[in-house]
Amino acid sequence: MKFGYFDDAKREYVITTPRTPYPWINYLGTQGFFSLISNTAGGYCFYKDARLRRITRYRYNNVPIDMGGRYFYINDNGTIWNPGWSPVKTELDSYECRHGMGYTIITGKKDSLKASVTFFVPQNYNGEVQQVVLTNEGTSSKSFKLFSFAEWCLWDAQDDCTNFQRNFSTGRVEVKDSVIYHKTEYRDRRNHYAFYSVNDTIDGYDTDRDSFIGLYNGFNNPEAVLNGKATNSFADGWSPIASHYKEITLAPGETKTLVFILGYVEMPVDEKFEADGKTINKVKALEMIEKYNTPEKVQAGLAELKAAWDKLLGILSVETPNDKVDRMVNIWNQYQCMVTFNLSRSASYFESGIGRGMGFRDSNQDILGFVHQIPDRARERIIDIASTQLQDGGCYHQYQPLTKKGNADIGGDFSDDPLWMILSVSAYIKETGDWTILDEMVPYDNDMSVAETMLKHLDVSFYHIVNNLGPHGLPLAMRADWNDCINLSCYSDTPGESFQTYTNPKFKAEGGYSKIAESIFVATLFTYTGPNYVAILKHLGKNAEAAKAQAEIDKMKENVMKYAFDGDWFLRAYDATGAKMGSKECEEGKIFIEPQGFAVMSEIGKDQGADIKTLNSIDKYLNTKFGLVLNNPCFTKYYIQYGEISTYPGGYKENAGIFTHNNAWIICAEAYAGRGDKAFEYYSKIAPAFTEETSDIHKTEPYVYGQMIGGKDAGSDVGQTGKNFGQGKNSWLTGTAAWNMVAISQYILGIQPDFDGLKVDPSIPAEWNGFKASRQFRGATYNITINNPKHVCKGVVNMTVDGKTVMGNVIPPFENGTHDVVVTLG
Ligand code: BGC
Ligand code: NOJ
């Protein structure tokens, strides 16, 4: 069942009922000011840091789930409704929500009155603009009352939802003309305030929540709205809000447009107040308001936003026989990658914005998805991340975006972390041809006095693996190895201990983690990423170092084949007792997805057919109608030696959930092995546009990936196997976005930036006649046509560039111009 449709020409998803199976959200903002907005206008905004500078309040895990947002209430002679249906939930005569690139338009109609609200954050602007267009579509005049509503958060979101004994007494506001200012703590230690304005006169306002809503009422029936009049209340302690009240009369056919702005202002300390030393200096706010105080200015702001997205999305676009692929590649997957760049894992409807900072491994992987769109910002991001690395090549697992410093509370020793940086730096160079990033002096642990070149950082990353091998010459598993929930040194039996940061005293004595537990996943990630490092060294003429690194990769491949090939697939790990994990010999969790794809792409044991055996085993044991489960069979008991993984009921999260992130690695591997049909089958099982038809089962947004989909075992714990099979969770902020972008664009469609230029090596469904792609790359634009006359999956037999045949399948680099590339498969 669907709850809307894609409008590809406008790059929008159009939701046609407010009763989606979960709130379906969008993000506004790309620079400093961000908003989350659901299809019923729920959500909140913040400036830069969702925890430390939260502007409006939101209560997570609420009942109903999506309560609180920016709401417009209409009281039309006693009929009370919202354009977005919620929170009043009066049935509307029509409803529509259009989520577009950085904007959302929600339109509701009731009794011939239409209210359409466009929400967006303009470029270079610290505020959310809300344009409300009210139209009387009836034949007689209409008088009604309009109320706006936003609830202020007292800045620090964590403190705001815990420290009530203080917070109920600190709220402060100011009202001047049609602007409501939120100034809690502004007089004291804060140099920022927020405001909510409207570009017209008002007939009243409210700034005190209880006066507006009433102590025994809710968002669904605020007293002031029921009474049809604002109370002109002043918040003083308790909970400050902002609500404008306006009485409006519209003749038949008449339209009235109002522009509301929810803005954020920072002030220099000596300019905070007017001459009286008390009243807020409003100059900056008034300038901001001035910028978008007419519908024309709003239109210009929207056009500017659209132009920015045209540019970002114009770098890569494709025309394939499948319109779902086109809308993923051209629009939504790229859009999601930009959102993960902006938000990392901080604020979504599943991430509270007060938890994690930026992840080392997460941020490096995110780079892969957006480096073609914003190479300069990717470069900056890579250097920020690398600056938190430690001298021995280890890394802080997370860092805080505001300070850019490694997070000591979480610490390091996550065994895969350093390797992802080799991948992100390589991806950056492959995209841009900018080798100078390697010469950049980058600190360790943010200490510039011990800075070394980025190349050296890659070196310590590579050798951090080599220097930390276990008994089989395989990488030590340490605290977790991509899979947060495989914690082989943890052995926790005490509630509340973090599986990721708690280490059993036995291992602590050995230096923090078991010297026996080994990760086959990290081994294969090493053999997959390592060749990039070797290629970089060769390019720099460092042949001896390249040979040395290559020898380590070769040795690792040998060890994996010798000690970790289980006959039909690769093991997952050796645990701290030296027992196999992810083996035929295991009772549960016999096969895991993670090491398999990278092993195949590293061609480990290819001469013995290990690659095809492995891929076939995945198909046989992990494949389901909704995607590939992470492991099989799921764990049904607590395995203390594995850590967190078996704490989840079977079918969820890392315990046999469908982790869309590493489904992509298998898609890549199938494509790599030339099995384009299989690659595409797996791709289309999880790509959101393809799950749209089953939105009632999938539940989360059909335009973006979630981290996880319930696996075939979901529900088995309560004797209802399959109950939540296919149900998506944790949408938006996930490494899935980047990896599936890589899988479809570079592996299936085969448009691959490489060190020497743009390589074209598709691995597509055999039934396709071909496809077209347009790709801007290092200053030139390539219009690529792929022909597939023999209906093969893979194999370039001929390539012409501007009519001339070239050898191989790497387009010779041009620095500018537009070039026609024709590729024939056969
Ligand atoms: C959870 C994992 C999850 C990770 C990131 C961990 O605390 O246990 O299941 O994948 O956080 O969300
Ligand atoms: C989400 C985390 O952000 C990521 O770092 C991890 O690799 C996956 N969960 C798998 O556990």
Most informative mutation of 351, 594, 658, 661 for ligand 2 (most atoms within 8 A of CB): 661
Q: Is the CB of 644 under 6 A from ligand 2?
A: no
Q: What number of other Cβ atoms are within 10 A of residue 267's Cβ?
A: 19
Task: Report which ligand 2 atom has the smallest distance to the Cα of 345.
Answer: 3
Task: Report which ligand 2 atom has the smallest distance to the Cα of 482.
Answer: 7
Short-list 707, 580, 719, 592, CA closest to 649: 719
Q: Whose CA is nearest to atom 3 of ligand 1?
A: 484
Residue-wise pLDDT for 528-581, tens only, equals 999 999 999 999 999 999 999 999 999 999 999 999 999 999 999 999 999 999
Using the mean position of ligand 2's atoms as its centre, give its distance from the Cα of residue 483 in Å: 6
Q: Is the CB of 84 under 6 A from ligand 2?
A: no
Identify the residues whose C-beta falls under 6 Å from ligand 1. 484-485, 644, 653-654
pLDDT at position 625, please? 98
% of residues, the chain, pLDDT over 90: 97
Q: Whose CA is nearest to atom 7 of ligand 2?
A: 482
Q: Is the CB of 484 under 6 A from ligand 2?
A: yes
The phi, psi pair for 565, rounded to 5°, reads -95, 125
Using the mean position of ligand 2's atoms as its centre, give its distance from the Cα of residue 418 in Å: 15
- Alpha carbon of residue 772 to chain centroid: 28
Helical (H) or strand (E) element with 376:
helix 375-386
Most informative mutation of 484, 498, 499 for ligand 1 (most atoms within 8 A of CB): 484
CA distance 151 to 795: 58
For residue 497, with 0-12 CB atoms within 10 Å meaning exposed, 13-18 middle and 19 or more buried, which class applies?
middle
CA distance 183 to 175: 11
Of these residues, 156, 206, 416, 484, which one is catalytic? 484
Mean pLDDT of 444-467: 98
Strands 447-453 and 204-208: unpaired
Q: Is the CB of 240 under 6 A from ligand 2?
A: no
pLDDT at 356 over 80: no
Extract the tokens encoding 63: 């009942």
3-state secondary structure of 503: coil
Task: Report which ligand 2 atom has the smallest distance to the Cα of 484.
Answer: 11
pLDDT at 744 over 80: yes
Q: Whose CA is nearest to atom 11 of ligand 1?
A: 484
Q: Is the CB of 417 under 6 A from ligand 2?
A: no
Using the mean position of ligand 1's atoms as its centre, give its distance from the Cα of residue 233 in Å: 44
Short-list 348, 253, 409, CA closest to 37: 348
pLDDT at 355 over 90: no
Residue-wise pLDDT for 50-84, tens only, equals 999 999 999 999 999 999 999 999 999 999 999 99
Q: What's the pTM?
A: 0.97
Q: Is the CB of 243 under 6 A from ligand 2?
A: no
pLDDT at position 409, please? 86
CA distance 463 to 551: 12
CA distance 467 to 737: 32
DSSP states of 457-483 = HHHHHHHHHHTSB-TTS-BB--S-BSB
Secondary structure in 3-state letters for 615-642 = HHHHHHHCEECCEECCEECCCCCCCHHH
Residue-wise pLDDT for 97-156, tens only, equals 999 999 999 999 999 999 999 999 999 999 999 999 999 999 999 999 999 999 999 999
Q: Which ligand lies nearest the alpha carbon of 364?
A: 2
pLDDT at position 156, please? 96
pLDDT at position 568, please? 98
Most informative mutation of 363, 366, 420, 484 for ligand 2 (most atoms within 8 A of CB): 484
Secondary structure in 3-state letters for 37-105 = EECCCEEEEEECCCCCCEEECCCCCCCCCCCCECEEEEEECCEEECCCCCCCCCCCCEEEEEECCCEEE
Using the mean position of ligand 2's atoms as its centre, give its distance from the Cα of residue 462 in Å: 21
Residue-wise pLDDT for 764-793, tens only, equals 999 999 999 999 999 999 999 999 999 999
Most informative mutation of 365, 410, 485 for ligand 1 (most atoms within 8 A of CB): 485
Per-residue pLDDT band for 308 (boundaries 50, 70, 90) equals: very high
Extract the tokens encoding 264: 């954020």
Buried b (16+ CB within 10 A) or exposed e, 191-204: ebbbbbbbbeebeb
Q: Whose CA is nearest to atom 6 of ligand 1?
A: 484
pLDDT at 44 over 80: yes
pLDDT at position 779, please? 97
3-state secondary structure of 357: coil
pLDDT at position 193, please? 98
CB-based contact 331:11 (threshold 8 Å)? yes
Query: CB under 8 Å to 794, separation ≥6 — which residues?
Result: 671, 674, 676, 761, 762, 763, 764, 825
CA distance 765 to 762: 10
pLDDT at 617 over 80: yes
484 classed as catalytic: yes
Q: Is the CB of 575 under 6 A from ligand 2?
A: no
**Using alpha carbons only, what angle is made at residue 765 by residues 761 and 771, rounded to the nearest 5 degrees?**
60
Q: Is the CB of 330 under 6 A from ligand 2?
A: no
Return the amino acid letter for 648: Y
For the chain, report the end-to-end CA distance as a whole number of angstroms. 39
pLDDT at 657 over 80: yes
Using the mean position of ligand 1's atoms as its centre, give its distance from the Cα of residue 353 in Å: 15
Q: Which ligand lies nearest the alpha carbon of 644?
A: 1
**Mean pLDDT over the full length of the chain:** 97
Q: Whose CA is nearest to atom 10 of ligand 2?
A: 483
Short-list 344, 259, 297, 286, CA closest to 51: 344
Q: Is the CB of 533 under 6 A from ligand 2?
A: no
Using the mean position of ligand 2's atoms as its centre, give its distance from the Cα of residue 478 in Å: 15
Residue-wise pLDDT for 145-183, tens only, equals 999 999 999 999 999 999 999 999 999 999 999 999 999
Secondary structure in 3-state letters for 230-283 = CCCECCECCCEEEEEEEEEEECCCCEEEEEEEEEEEECCHHHCECCCCCCECCH
Q: Is the CB of 362 under 6 A from ligand 2?
A: yes
pLDDT at position 402, please? 78
Q: Whose CA is nearest to atom 4 of ligand 1?
A: 484
CA distance 34 to 824: 45
Using the mean position of ligand 1's atoms as its centre, give its distance from the Cα of residue 572 in Å: 19
CA distance 477 to 469: 9
Task: Report which ligand 1 atom has the smallest distance to the Cα of 653.
Answer: 9
Using the mean position of ligand 1's atoms as its centre, give its distance from the Cα of residue 356 in Å: 10
Using the mean position of ligand 2's atoms as its centre, give its distance from the Cα of residue 824 in Å: 39
Using the mean position of ligand 2's atoms as its centre, give its distance from the Cα of residue 521 in Å: 14
Preceding peptide of 633 cis, ω within 30°: yes
Q: Whose CA is nearest to atom 10 of ligand 1?
A: 484
Q: Is the CB of 464 under 6 A from ligand 2?
A: no
Q: Is the CB of 208 under 6 A from ligand 2?
A: no
Tell me the β-bridge partners of 796.
Answer: 825
Secondary structure in 3-state letters for 699-766 = CCCCCCCEEEECCCCCCHHHCCCCCCCCCEEEECCCCHHHHHHHHHHHHHCCEEEECCEEEECCECCC
Short-list 331, 322, 291, 471, CA closest to 8: 331
Q: Which ligand lies nearest the alpha carbon of 500?
A: 1
Using the mean position of ligand 1's atoms as its centre, give its distance from the Cα of residue 484 in Å: 6
